[in-house]
Amino acid sequence: MDQSDVTWNHLQILRDKAPLIHNITNYVVMNNTANALLALGASPVMAHAKEEVADMVSIASALVINIGTLSPGWVEAMETAMHAAGKKGIPVVLDPVGAGATPYRTETVKALMQKNPPDIIRGNASEIGALYSAENRTRGVDSTQDSQAALDPARFLAREYEAVVVVSGSTDYIVTDHNVSTVQNGSELMGKVTGMGCTATAVVAAFAAVIENQEKAALTAMSVMGIAGEIAALKSSGPGTLQLHFLDVLYNLDEKDLKQKLKSENNHA
């Protein structure tokens, strides 16, 4: 199978299995994330009480941890959930939103990773860079660095945590300790919609839930995100209409459109 067959095959598996994805994520994007997972064919659940996160993990197929609006009570629940997911053996996908913007974020996400190493980390170049070195303070959740520049930090994190690291940008990089794949799909307009990165993280988790090879799952996920965004942008007159077209496209994405648009490269292959 060539890459486009693999990607289409992955999407069919996801739609067929409809995995339950447990999200502990930020307030800003909960609604978008849930809708994107539904449109994709997965089943979202949001739960953050430390009283129930382990039980929720026990019925879920992947766990998303997103620190976009973190606070101590939530961090405690994240830790509990990550631990339970690790014991159960389901993939944990971490989104270090705004890492580097404040010491609290940077330190919290580092501590979470050290206690329970995630399977996949997805962030923009600033965030991935901040996890590598806390020296570079960023402007919050925006990416102010090129994603290329985050390749060294990504490789470091990939080795350190035995994780797949996804660096989002105009080119997306999927990085392991020995390989770098790229996705060239997407649209600049996606950066004008809040939470598109967080949605990408949830989409990565949905594929990771059903595709055993986490690197391939991440590559497919970023391709599907980018292609859906690209097609949606063509139909949109701004970031408002993009949001809804994105969900419609994700829901309707067919083999022809997906294969025609795909611009990913697996350097390993």
**Contacting a second copy within 160-179 (CB under 8 A):** none
Contact 238, 191 (CB under 8 A): no
- For 29, the token pair is 């994007």
Give the whole-angstrom CA distance, residue 130 versus residue 128. 5
- For 17, the token pair is 């299995």
Output the CA angle 135-174-224, nearest 5 degrees.
125
Total residues interacting with a second copy, rule: CB under 8 A: 63
Binder of a second copy out of 9, 88, 104, 261 (CB under 8 A): 104
Binder of a second copy out of 11, 68, 86, 112 (CB under 8 A): 68
Binder of a second copy out of 39, 64, 125, 158 (CB under 8 A): 39
- Shortest distance, CB of residue 89 to a second copy, whole angstroms? 19
Contact 203, 225 (CB under 8 A): yes
Give the whole-angstrom CA distance, residue 63 versus residue 112. 14
254 interacts with a second copy by CB under 8 A: no
- Shortest distance, CB of residue 151 to a second copy, whole angstroms? 25
187 interacts with a second copy by CB under 8 A: no
Kindly report the number of other CB atoms within 10 A of residue 38's CB atom: 15
Give residue 42's identity as a one-letter amino acid code: A
Binder of a second copy out of 4, 13, 17, 69 (CB under 8 A): 69
Binding site for a second copy (CB under 8 A): 20, 26-32, 34-35, 38-39, 43-49, 51-52, 55-56, 59-60, 68-73, 98, 101-105, 137, 139-142, 191-195, 236-241, 243-252
